[in-house]
Structure 1
Amino acid sequence: MRLSFLEPLYAEPGPFASAYLDTSRDVEHPERAIALRWRRLRDNLTRQGADRTLLEVLEEVVGADREVPGIHGQAVFAADGALVLDGELPRPPAHDSARYGTLPDAMPLVTQHIPEIPYLAVTVHYGGLPTAKTHGWVRVDAETGTWPASNVTPGERLHRRVAVATWHHTAVRLGHRLDEWARRACADAVVIGGDDWASNVLIRRLPHTLRDRVVRVGGPTPTDTRRALLEPQLNIAFRGRMASHDRALVDIFIGRRALHLAATEGLSATVAALQRGQVAALLLNHPPAPSLRLWAGPQPTQLALTEAELVSFGVRAPREERADEALLRTLVGTGAELVVVPESELRLYEGVGALLRYTDPDAVLTRTRTAVPARAAGRT
């Protein structure tokens, strides 16, 4: 996945106040519940050393997502007396959390965007006289999005209402428009729900390139425009699935690894590649455990396993940071992508690897098995 949406975070030098909380509106007295949650987080941030200005900035936006219905969460970040990022979470965090530190606590936000699957959702409904389709109508709704973030940030929605008598003919023109829309969105899948007869007419008239990506779904089709079209069906259809873009990167990595080309594996070798700005995409079996630490300097590529290594590079006063926070800053700062790939798809040595932009002449695929203890991989 591309991490450009995090760039505003790292435009500020820090320190950062980061907060994650459940802002769902499906409970009795939601505003009171959110205020109580925020009060606990505010006290936590105060104990960690956050100043009053940062806390007031966060307080202004916490719970301001009143237009988002149902179950969801909120992630907010502030630095240098200003709000730097306010993100909606498609599901509440496992537990409310707050952190004050030199780097933003951004990994929970990233994991809520994974697997970042672009799609086109379409519902097709027939209505009208129960005994004569010639007097009825067909209603089509369509929407592009990127799952799962689009559950709470739906895109523009298309509405069409067509006389049943002209549906077979109109479906051809509509199919070409949907194909164009899906191409612009780089949609991995076209998820179609609604009435069988009307949906089948549309599917049979879709261009072949689009028809091959159709996923038929059943069940009720909620019409709340504040949530994603076909949200319940999307959550079922995409659960456990990787985005096509990420899967392609994994396939490239597997091929390069087999041929000892531009790839690396293991924590020590991957950190060394990140230091050189060599990484095009970082692959992880799972986000690093909070206990895993790396050393960092003020620049994104100033990253190392030990303090002594950074000092040898001329970095003054390096800091020990959580690995997830330090890695994300480096990825964003160097324009690298992040791919979280299940071990069932690809088991990485020490849980980490990278596709490289270029290779050193003397060492292409590096697997350092002795320099880093096994626990450093963040495995539990």
Structure 2
Amino acid sequence: MRLAFLESLYAEPGPYVSVYMNTSRDGDHPERAIALRWRRLRESLSRQGADAALLNRLEAVVGADAEVPGVHGQAVFAAHGTLVLDGELPSPPEHDSARYGTLPDAMPLVAQHVPEIPYLAVVVHYGGLPTAETHGWVTLEAEAGSWPASTVTPGERLLRRVPVTIWHRASARLGHQLDAWARRAHADAVVVGGNEWACNVLVRRLPRTLRDRVVRVGGPTPTDTGRALLEPQLDRVFRGHMAAHDREIVDLFVHRRAVDGPVAEGLAATVAALQRGQVAALLLNRPPGSPPSARLWVGSRPTQLALTEAELLSFGVRAPREERADEALVRALVGTGAELVVVPEAELRLYEQVGALLRYADGGGRHSTQR
């Protein structure tokens, strides 16, 4: 999973305000409930030391997502009076939270993007055969996204309406359009729902490379909800799965580990590799957003992190400070352009639940790996 969407978060130096809040409007008096939630969080931030100007800047943004339908949440980050990131959450946070600290609390936002599976969703509706009163149509709608984040941030949608009498011919042309779109989106799967006959015609005419990635789904297929196309079906198809790109990284890690190649395993070895900007992808067994326990010492730069204060002082880092490990790791990944992969422990057990695929090997051979 690439973390480029967090780059703006670190464009400003800290301290940061990090707010996670349920902004769903599915209950009674939703605006009043959101205002009460924000009031509690604002009071907490004020006690933590956030100034009034920064809190006023946040107040203009928190809860300003009334156009997003359904159950969802909001993550907002600000620093020095500047809004640095405002993101929608596919699921409300388990608990509303607000922190004021030297590093942003970014891992819960990352957790709602995992596993970031690219897909193409297609719905085909059949309007019946022509009659004296109606012409008869087949309607196709398609949308690309990355699950689960695209649930609340759906992308551009393709809409085509074709007379049913030429659907067999038109579906071949549309199939090539969908194939080109899926290639651009690097889609792992093409999820297809709707009328069985119209879907059968379309799928049979898709290019073979795309047909092999088709997943047929049933159930209601509304297209005007303001949420992702085929949202409930996407959840059933993708939950518990990894993105194909992430699985390739895991397979490469396993291969390199077996032949003493350039990998790191364990917190100490992984942190040492991050210090050198050596990490191509960080692998975690523990899902992001789990209660953090480990802490690291950090400096002002993303690669200035260590297990002990003494180590950072030996590097010439002035005034190091202790922070949550997840906050320090996310900043290091974004700052060095590294990826994040969450892999179930049942598939790959990592020492201390953390490892790294490295960009290069140390000069002396294999990177230090703990087991």
TM-score (norm 2): 0.97
Paired position in structure 1 for 2:158: 158
Structure 1 runs (4+) greater than 4 angstroms displaced = 129-132
Mapped contact 2:119–2:145 kept (Cα < 8 A):
yes
Q: Deviations over 1:137-169 (max 9, x none)?
A: 111000111111111110111111111110111
SS at match of 1:113: coil
SS at match of 2:124: strand
Matched, 1:226 2:217: no
Paired position in structure 1 for 2:91: 91
Using the TM superposition, give the Cα deviation of residue 125 of structure 1 relative to its aligned residue in structure 2, in angstroms: 1.1
Using the TM superposition, give the Cα deviation of residue 363 of structure 1 relative to its aligned residue in structure 2, in angstroms: 4.6
Distance 2:38 2:360 in 1: 46
Distance 1:97 1:222 in 2: 34
1:290 to 292, 305, 309: 292
Q: What number of residue pairs does the alignment pair up?
A: 368
Paired position in structure 2 for 1:303: 305
TM-score (norm 1): 0.94
SS at match of 1:61: coil
Q: Deviations over 1:191-217 (max 9, x none)?
A: 000010000000000000000000000
The one-letter amino acid of 1:359's match is A
Using the TM superposition, give the Cα deviation of residue 262 of structure 1 relative to its aligned residue in structure 2, in angstroms: 1.0
- Of 357-366 and 18-27, more deviation after overlay is shown by 357-366
SS at match of 1:220: coil
Paired position in structure 2 for 1:347: 349
Distance 1:148 1:160 in 2: 25
Q: Deviations over 1:239-266 (max 9, x none)?
A: 0010111111001100100011111101
Mapped contact 2:129–2:164 kept (Cα < 8 A):
no
The one-letter amino acid of 2:18's match is S
Mapped contact 2:281–2:341 kept (Cα < 8 A):
yes
Paired position in structure 1 for 2:369: 367
Paired position in structure 1 for 2:44: 44
Distance 2:367 2:241 in 1: 28
Mapped contact 1:277–1:334 kept (Cα < 8 A):
yes
**Structure 1 residues without counterparts, runs of 5 or longer:** 370-380
Mapped contact 1:264–1:364 kept (Cα < 8 A):
no
Percentage of pairs with the same residue: 76
SS at match of 2:76: strand
Mapped contact 1:136–1:163 kept (Cα < 8 A):
yes
Matched, 1:316 2:326: no
Using the TM superposition, give the Cα deviation of residue 289 of structure 1 relative to its aligned residue in structure 2, in angstroms: 3.9
Using the TM superposition, give the Cα deviation of residue 38 of structure 1 relative to its aligned residue in structure 2, in angstroms: 0.5
Paired position in structure 2 for 1:260: 260
Using the TM superposition, give the Cα deviation of residue 365 of structure 1 relative to its aligned residue in structure 2, in angstroms: 3.9
Mapped contact 2:107–2:326 kept (Cα < 8 A):
yes
Using the TM superposition, give the Cα deviation of residue 225 of structure 1 relative to its aligned residue in structure 2, in angstroms: 5.2
Give runs of aligned pairs for residues 127-146 of structure 1, distance below 5 A.
127-129=127-129, 135-146=135-146
Matched, 1:124 2:124: yes
The one-letter amino acid of 1:222's match is P
Using the TM superposition, give the Cα deviation of residue 48 of structure 1 relative to its aligned residue in structure 2, in angstroms: 1.1
Using the TM superposition, give the Cα deviation of residue 298 of structure 1 relative to its aligned residue in structure 2, in angstroms: 0.6
Using the TM superposition, give the Cα deviation of residue 367 of structure 1 relative to its aligned residue in structure 2, in angstroms: 2.6
Mapped contact 1:265–1:365 kept (Cα < 8 A):
no
Distance 2:262 2:138 in 1: 53
Matched, 1:59 2:59: yes
SS at match of 1:31: helix
Using the TM superposition, give the Cα deviation of residue 53 of structure 1 relative to its aligned residue in structure 2, in angstroms: 1.4
Distance 1:127 1:86 in 2: 41
SS at match of 2:303: coil
- Of 226-235 and 123-132, more deviation after overlay is shown by 123-132
Alpha-carbon RMSD across the aligned residues, in angstroms, is: 1.4
Mapped contact 2:264–2:370 kept (Cα < 8 A):
no
Paired position in structure 2 for 1:20: 20
**Structure 2 residues without counterparts, runs of 5 or longer:** none
